[in-house]
Amino acid sequence: MKRRHFLSTSAAAGVVGSVSHARNGPKDLRRAGFMGIAKAGKDLPRTAKLKVAGDELRILQFTDIHFFCDRERFGEKADLQTVDDMKRMIENTSPHLLAITGDLWSDNPRGQGQKFFEYALEKITSLGKPWLFNWGNHDRLDDYATAQVTLTEAKNSLYRGGHDGGNYRISINGDDDRQLMELLCLNTTTQGVQAGQERWLTMQKPAASPVLCFLHIPLLQYDTVWQKKLAKGIFKEPVCTYGEDGSAIAKLKRFGDVKACFCGHDHVNDYSGNWDGIEMVYGRATGHAGYGANKLKKGGKLITAKLNDPKKNCTWKTVFADGSDWSPE
């Protein structure tokens, strides 16, 4: 499927639990600026915690899985191939956590989004690892409020976005339960980071530990680092930031010591570059049904953070189901 058409159709870990009853269609949610304007269930926690034994945190990022994309052409074959690939990448890398950074399924044609969502959830939970989830612009259905409850309560889920429009924090703790890192999960909606997310960021208690940020649509600075030749890797399509105006990075820096952002969305870009102290890193698109397989091999991104390093600096590489990996020269 061509990108233009595609867009237009469009504990081992100690996992610790949002409820709302608003019913908003995609148009209302777009107008509101973010998906899932949901009120919190008072008996479920707002943040999640993941306890990690040892001194290394390994996160395997899968992005743009796009279940049910182009089923007329692929049938279920492409989706099953994607699941098989994910299983093999997990076996090869033994991650503590999976980061599912958006476009997990493909839209809501004729109200089928709920069915796609349930299929996706069954596949993700079957992987047997703790997981976080960012909303992508194609993750559409009719009832976002109920979906957020389902996401929160699903097996091994660290999703806690139901309180705050899909934005949430995850604490990474060591053996002694001391916090070592934080993961910041942003809902970039259909328009990139907007005023609603920036307001949420501004209202947050600043992070006391180094932070890794996960989001679907790239920040404007992803384009800047490539244009200014500060990035290394693969650039095969323009950076699609929609309406993000570049102001979010200042809010991130106020939030805490953000080491890196990991996004998806542009399936045939895979590069990273540093802007103002924050690494802008593309994930590798994972789903065989999504566009781009003819231009860039599908895979995942293994992120490794040294928890015994006071600065918690991290590294990353692209990994594939056949056990090989790739990093820029």
> Which residue ranges make up the site for Fe ion (CB under 5 A)?
103, 136-137, 265
* CA end-to-end distance (rounded Å), the chain: 30
Beta strands in 14-71 (DSSP E): 48-51, 56-62
Q: Give the shortest CB-216-to-Fe ion separation in angstroms.
A: 6
Q: Tell me how far CA of residue 304 lies from CA of 96, 200, 316, 318, 324, in angstroms.
A: 10, 28, 6, 12, 17
Tokens of 84: 């098989």
User: Minimum distance from CB of 190 to Fe ion (Å)?
Assistant: 9
Pick the closer one to Fe ion by CB: 35 or 207: 35
> What is the closest distance, in whole angstroms, from the C-beta atom of residue 241 to Fe ion in the complex?
11
| CB of 130 or CB of 136, closer to Fe ion | 136
**Alpha helix ranges (H) inside 170-328:** 195-203, 220-227, 248-255
Paired tokens of 23? 């019913």
Q: From the CB of 9, what's the least distance to Fe ion, in Å?
A: 12
Kindly provide the residue ranges of all beta strands, DSSP E only, lying in the chain, ordered along the sequence. 48-51, 56-62, 97-100, 131-133, 168-173, 179-185, 211-214, 231-235, 258-263, 269-275, 278-282, 300-306, 314-319, 325-326
Min dist CB 131 to Fe ion, Å, is 18
In 3D, which of 111, 93, 63 has the Cα closest to residue 218?
Answer: 63
C-alpha 125, offset from chain centre: 16
Residue closer to Fe ion (CB basis): 8 or 205: 8
7 vs 250, which CB is nearer to Fe ion?
A: 7
Would you say 68 or 255 has its CB closer to Fe ion?
Answer: 68
- In whole angstroms, how close is the CB of 267 to Fe ion at the nearest point? 8
Nearer to Fe ion, 135 or 255 (CB): 135
What's the min distance (Å) between Cβ of 188 and Fe ion? Answer: 9
Instruction: Give the list of residues 6+ apart from residue 199 with CB closer than 8 angstroms, or none.
Output: none
Cβ distance to Fe ion smaller for residue 137 or 148 = 137
**CB-based closest residue to Fe ion:** 265
The helices-and-strands tally (H runs, E runs) of the chain is: 9, 14
